[in-house]
Structure 1
Amino acid sequence: MKKKSIWPKVYLAFIFIVLYAPIFYLMFYSFNSGGTMNNFEGFTLDWYKELFGDKRLLIIVLNTIIVALLSAAIATMIGVIGALSIVYMRKKTTKQALLSLNNVLIVSPDVIIGASFLILFTMAGIKLGFTSVLLSHIAFSIPIVVIMVLPKLEEMSMSLIDAARDLGASPWDVLSKVILPYISPGIFAGFFMALTYSLDDFAVTFFVTGNGFSTLSVEIYSLARRGISLNINALSTLLFLFTIILVAGYYFIMQRNSRAAEAGVRK
């Protein structure tokens, strides 16, 4: 037997080091009592205390979470409807055209999308703030949800739907008791991806946010421009940990769903 090469593992380890080393460096100095990122003078939690004592920043955190949850929930509902419409569309040319338009929105530069939304909201007379940020986040999250849901719909056998109809199930029963439970992993994946994109987005939000309303990404950018402050390190550390919790929760839900599906098959 040929021995497996160690170089792929070395390369993978190198990639992870390059990606995570700056993050851990930032997290490490968020506990520095010296106030700089040059010399670690001692351990302290003062930067976190100062962070939680900043009411304005706490309001921005709340704004970010509200926008992310609302945009992800609404985008998931619209994205599921869009994926269902695309899958069960009869004309292949129209189906391919819609898929292409959906994919174009995903790969389009965020600067172009943000500038387009800014022009649209200005022409429509929509005041820049919570509403404009929410609408833009919903818009760029919908294609992500469609992409996550489509594979589950395409692998679903039509025999399940035909069997449900033969047993007298109404169209609503087929949708709620057959289709949606089957594609639930894709729905959860789309929701968490939309939530993550909303929390992390900067370029689009920077264009459509207004006076009196801000999100964490824009606020971190403005804080960084003022100079080095370990408040940014503390805030970034908490964001990173929150993202890890989201990812862990997603995998927990996916494992639970897969176990439930396997149990159902065995029965």
Structure 2
Amino acid sequence: MDKRISPLSRIFLIVMFALLYLPIFYLIFYSFNSGGKMYGFESFTLDRYRELFQNTRLLIIVLNTVVIALLSALISTIIGVLGAMMINKVRSRRARDSLLSLNNILIVSPDVIIGASFLILFTIAGLKLGFYSVLLSHIAFSIPIVVLMVLPKISEMSPSLLDAARDLGASRWEVMTKVVIPYITPGIFAGFFMALTYSLDDFAVTFFVTGNGFTTLSVEIYSLARRGISLDINALSTIIFLITMVIVVIYYLITNRTKKAPDMEVFK
């Protein structure tokens, strides 16, 4: 099979990546502009980054965003893994398809509708908008993502592995911790990092459920952008982009190392 890329395909890929990355590099480039504008680069400076790290309020918002992302990703991963295991145990194909359809609703639904629904729910329940409302919302829309990442790994696992472990005298807990979890670890990591990324990037849902005195980076950047062009946004966006790249690299290193490791180890 000829796997060479045609010239037309190469041109398409170049144009596509240019459209995706040139605006980001343009933003990063002008974060070092001493002129304070998005045109007419005058000279190199790190003043925007110094101002950024001296902004106590913004540092608190960054901490809020990271805490929300880590907690929501961790909790949604635990719930999503358990949910994927339960769905995999359903014998009826119709029932399984129905559960998967319900699981996918939060993924395919517009974020505005999801955010408005959470806002109505929290208002009726009397929950004050703030940290907990944002956390619960992020957990809710991250769980279906984790399920979709983990369920294929569970489905492709051969039942003979479980039978062999039980024949060797493994208990249910040992089967779970020494056979199932190691086998589906790539899916778990994929679900965790996807949930983490979605939480860090989310704006629409967070905009609806955040309250006075609490906000996240996405909402704060939107508020700064509405006040006018500020290179502080460029500096902040540059840092977020670099952190995202580091997370992606770590994710691929972990998944590649996991693939090279043995699929399972029943007993040491």
**Pairwise TM-score range, normalised by the shorter structure:** over 0.9
In structure 2, distance between residues paired with 1:261 and 1:103: 32
For this pair of structures, how many residues does the alignment match?
A: 264
- The TM-score, its normalising length taken from structure 1, stands at 0.96
Q: Among the aligned pairs, what percent are the same residue?
A: 70
TM superposition shift of 1:87: 0.6
- CA 1:16–1:4 in 2, change beyond 3 Å: closer, same or farther? closer
In structure 2, distance between residues paired with 1:158 and 1:263: 14
The one-letter amino acid of 2:64's match is: N
Q: Could you say which residue in structure 2 is the equivalent of 1:251?
A: 252
In structure 1, distance between residues paired with 2:149 and 2:239: 27
Residue by residue, what CA displacement relative to the aligned partner does 1:146-201 show, whole Å, maximum 9, x if unpaired?
A: 00001111111010001011111111111111001000000000000000000000
In structure 1, distance between residues paired with 2:131 and 2:107: 23
Q: Could you say which residue in structure 2 is the equivalent of 1:190?
A: 191
Q: Could you say which residue in structure 2 is the equivalent of 1:223?
A: 224
What SS class does the counterpart of residue 215 from structure 2 fall into?
coil
In structure 1, distance between residues paired with 2:143 and 2:201: 16
Q: Could you say which residue in structure 1 is the equivalent of 2:24?
A: 23
In structure 2, distance between residues paired with 1:263 and 1:12: 39
What SS class does the counterpart of residue 262 from structure 2 fall into?
helix
Q: Could you say which residue in structure 1 is the equivalent of 2:84?
A: 83
Q: Could you say which residue in structure 1 is the equivalent of 2:117?
A: 116
Q: Could you say which residue in structure 1 is the equivalent of 2:165?
A: 164
In structure 2, distance between residues paired with 1:207 and 1:5: 46
In structure 1, distance between residues paired with 2:166 and 2:204: 47
Q: Could you say which residue in structure 1 is the equivalent of 2:94?
A: 93
Q: Could you say which residue in structure 2 is the equivalent of 1:214?
A: 215
The one-letter amino acid of 1:47's match is: R
TM superposition shift of 1:92: 2.0
TM superposition shift of 1:91: 2.2
- Indicate conservation of the 8 Å contact 2:178/2:264, yes or no: no
In structure 2, distance between residues paired with 1:26 and 1:220: 14
TM superposition shift of 1:256: 0.9
Residue by residue, what CA displacement relative to the aligned partner does 1:206-229 show, whole Å, maximum 9, x if unpaired?
A: 000000000000000000000000
Q: Which moved more, 1:5-14 or 1:153-162?
A: 5-14
The one-letter amino acid of 2:132's match is: T
The one-letter amino acid of 2:248's match is: V
In structure 1, distance between residues paired with 2:53 and 2:5: 50
The one-letter amino acid of 1:231's match is: D
- Indicate conservation of the 8 Å contact 2:146/2:195, yes or no: yes
TM superposition shift of 1:263: 11
- The TM-score, its normalising length taken from structure 2, stands at 0.96
TM superposition shift of 1:4: 5.1
The one-letter amino acid of 2:106's match is: L
TM superposition shift of 1:105: 1.5
Q: Which moved more, 1:5-14 or 1:51-60?
A: 5-14
Asked if 1:65 is matched to 2:83, the reply is no
Q: Which moved more, 1:42-51 or 1:4-13?
A: 4-13
- Indicate conservation of the 8 Å contact 2:32/2:48, yes or no: yes
In structure 2, distance between residues paired with 1:240 and 1:131: 26
Residue by residue, what CA displacement relative to the aligned partner does 1:52-103 show, whole Å, maximum 9, x if unpaired?
A: 0000000000000000000000000000000000011122222111001111
In structure 2, distance between residues paired with 1:4 and 1:224: 41
Task: List runs of 5+ in structure 2 lacking aligned partners.
Answer: none
Residue by residue, what CA displacement relative to the aligned partner does 1:117-149 show, whole Å, maximum 9, x if unpaired?
A: 000000000000000000000000000000000
In structure 1, distance between residues paired with 2:25 and 2:213: 32
Task: List runs of 5+ in structure 1 lacking aligned partners.
Answer: none
Q: Could you say which residue in structure 1 is the equivalent of 2:153?
A: 152
The one-letter amino acid of 1:209's match is: T
Q: Which moved more, 1:141-150 or 1:2-11?
A: 2-11
TM superposition shift of 1:27: 0.3
